[in-house]
Chain A
């Protein structure tokens, strides 16, 4: 398959893996954070850790939108949909994320009108088809999905559609990276930069990471060759004593980002003064709310939002895992009370959540290899 097979070619992968071994200083331990959940998923799915020397540690970052969403926001969204006149729509990833009284899917089983959609424009179409109902879109995601929500709101305004609204939980990636760098237990040597987010925001917003913090960052694609090549580029920078922003994912990411996407976002959204991130607390100017000029389509302005705040179960250590302080398996609940089937924390829900990825692809393998005495 085009654009896939060439990035999974064993010869090229073997070469990149060899290059990593050649560049990595055996006396040194490297901690690279992959910011984006898509990378976490790819690393586990393709078994890429097997191709790295043991002194390169990959730390999973905060770039999984459902993982960083506090439970209170899910409760808020579901409470608006208690009205039988409301159709609750969201992406598939949201469906199994637990709220206090169950996930959207469990609410659906009890009779709530909950629909999975693949694009915000599907929610808009649903509203057009059901003029006697109100369709609410539970919007989540970083700058990757925010432009499509923005374009949908612009369209709703053009159509004068009155039975449609968006509950915005959009967040932005840069403040999250800053929060991680500011965290006192942070020990990251370099970053594998987000790929899809960067198609929208470009590479410039990362420059402070290199300039001010002295950490190399390489914006990376999601195929095995992409991730390995990005690690090669990070090692080359570290070896040369450099810290700069590089773009490995040039076939998709323009250095300047996408102007039309940024324009649509600016038209519809403004920065919230602060927003709560699951496991990381309140981060200022880290999320997007809908501008007053679109208030008619803003679920937070149209409905009574209870503003629920739920503390995570005490034993759950989602925050530490999110910041890369703990590995998923080091959390007390991992694989016991918290599994992909019965998730306690959101990191266990999305296939991009580091706990779910680790659970699905890695931890039994690690247990087995340890039990038969192989090196892992």
Chain B
């Protein structure tokens, strides 16, 4: 008896930074190597968390790693990010996080006070998000081998009643809802590295989006088709994945996409597209048109959701593509992130 060999399509000769940047290269790696070897014959589009059936109970499960540099930055730190990131991956899959487990990879020589600060940050973030930390593991590697510390988390959650999300359920005319201004996290980290000698009054947006997702579920549960938190690769990459998975187009009104002047200014200066910049406390939701107003009202009425806005809608054509329209009549194709964002020189 012969078992059909999984088809490996990943042909890149070596792993590069771009494979971890969340854009095209990351997708190629996951779909071309991990999926065929690990996920078997499942053809489900790859989401932020997997929903699996355990003896008749549906649970959501996710895992995430954190390798941010620097460890602390305005508005947050690696520990806080690790909790919020995992809670958010579950939330946008339509689940409420119940418990996390945590692995620390630490460098020898790491000052205890730094570790303690991060553990405290995790405890506080977990309390705020209403999730328990149920266990974990610790490994120590030689000095200089792990950029001080890496954190890996796994989270388990229960589905929020009434929500059924899938890219396949998205229809032309559905609205694209964004929870708030984009780019705060990515630009904050870029500036915190200090390579640029730019200063700005800006904080990471890291937070749990669960309260916002739950408010949305209460107001428009059956109208929510799909959600995603636009982390690495930004809004552009998340929406391109959606366009590809559902076979429809996304038409964005570029002028409606909220962002702070500091983010816009930094992107203008550095030649970056804010739609490619990472967020850690925002999410995108596709809402059936008839539920869109109620959904928007519900978000705006929830603390932290007052800047939510509808930024576009789904359309039949251009299939599989994200288009940005400006208020003066120009349009452009908005692609996924390619490589790591590199600034232009002139």
The 21 sampled A-B contact pairs (Cβ below 8 Å) are A1-B264, A4-B268, A10-B329, A36-B346, A37-B346, A47-B330, A48-B330, A66-B345, A92-B344, A93-B344, A96-B342, A109-B15, A116-B342, A118-B343, A141-B345, A142-B346, A352-B346, A361-B332, A361-B333, A364-B333, A368-B249
Residue of B nearest to A10 (CB): B328
Bound: A46/B326 CA distance, A: 8
CB–CB B326/A91 < 8 A = no
Chain A residues within CB distance 8 Å of chain B: 1, 4, 8, 10, 13-14, 17, 36-38, 41, 44-51, 65-66, 91-93, 95-96, 105-106, 109-110, 116-118, 122, 140-142, 144-145, 196, 224, 340-341, 350-352, 360-365, 368-369, 371-372
State whether A51 and B344 are in contact (beta carbons under 8 Å apart), knowing that A118-B196, A351-B271 are contacts in the complex. Answer: no
Chain B residues within CB distance 8 Å of chain A: 14-18, 24-25, 195-196, 249, 261, 264-265, 268, 271, 317-319, 321, 323-333, 335, 338-339, 342-346
Please give, as numbers and ranges, the residues of chain A lying within 8 Å of B268 by CB-CB distance.
1, 4
Please give, as numbers and ranges, the residues of chain B lying within 8 Å of A117 by CB-CB distance.
195
Kindly identify which residue among A4, A51, A66, A364 contacts B330, using a CB–CB cutoff of 8 Å. Answer: A51
CB distance from A165 to the nearest CB of B (A): 19
Bound: A41/B344 CA distance, A: 10
State whether A368 and B346 are in contact (beta carbons under 8 Å apart), knowing that A1-B265, A105-B17 are contacts in the complex. Answer: no
Please give, as numbers and ranges, the residues of chain A lying within 8 Å of B318 by CB-CB distance.
364-365, 368-369, 372
- Using a Cβ cutoff of 8 Å, how many contacts connect chains A and B? 123
State whether A140 and B345 are in contact (beta carbons under 8 Å apart), knowing that A51-B330, A365-B323, A372-B317 are contacts in the complex. Answer: yes
Bound: A162/B197 CA distance, A: 25
A44, A116, A361, most chain B CB atoms within 10 A: A361
CB–CB A341/B338 < 8 A = yes
CB–CB A362/B345 < 8 A = no
Please give, as numbers and ranges, the residues of chain A lying within 8 Å of B265 by CB-CB distance.
1
Kindly identify which residue among A36, A341, A372 contacts B25, using a CB–CB cutoff of 8 Å. Answer: A341
Residue of A nearest to B196 (CB): A118
CB distance from A346 to the nearest CB of B (A): 13
Give 12 A-B pairs besides A109-B15, A352-B344 with Cβ atoms closer than 8 angstroms.
A1-B268, A10-B328, A13-B328, A47-B332, A91-B343, A105-B17, A141-B346, A224-B328, A224-B330, A341-B339, A352-B346, A365-B321
Bound: A361/B322 CA distance, A: 10
Please give, as numbers and ranges, the residues of chain B lying within 8 Å of A41 by CB-CB distance.
344
CB distance from B302 to the nearest CB of A (A): 29
CB distance from B250 to the nearest CB of A (A): 12
Please give, as numbers and ranges, the residues of chain B lying within 8 Å of A44 by CB-CB distance.
332
CB distance from B186 to the nearest CB of A (A): 15
CB–CB B321/A364 < 8 A = yes
Bound: A30/B18 CA distance, A: 41
CB distance from B337 to the nearest CB of A (A): 10
Bound: A4/B267 CA distance, A: 12
CB–CB A50/B345 < 8 A = no
B196, B265, B324, B338, most chain A CB atoms within 10 A: B338
Please give, as numbers and ranges, the residues of chain A lying within 8 Å of B344 by CB-CB distance.
38, 41, 92-93, 350-352
CB–CB A93/B342 < 8 A = yes
Bound: A67/B38 CA distance, A: 41
Bound: A364/B344 CA distance, A: 23
Residue of B nearest to A374 (CB): B317
CB–CB B332/A46 < 8 A = yes
Bound: A224/B265 CA distance, A: 17
Bound: A240/B343 CA distance, A: 41
State whether A365 and B317 are in contact (beta carbons under 8 Å apart), knowing that A96-B342, A109-B16 are contacts in the complex. Answer: no
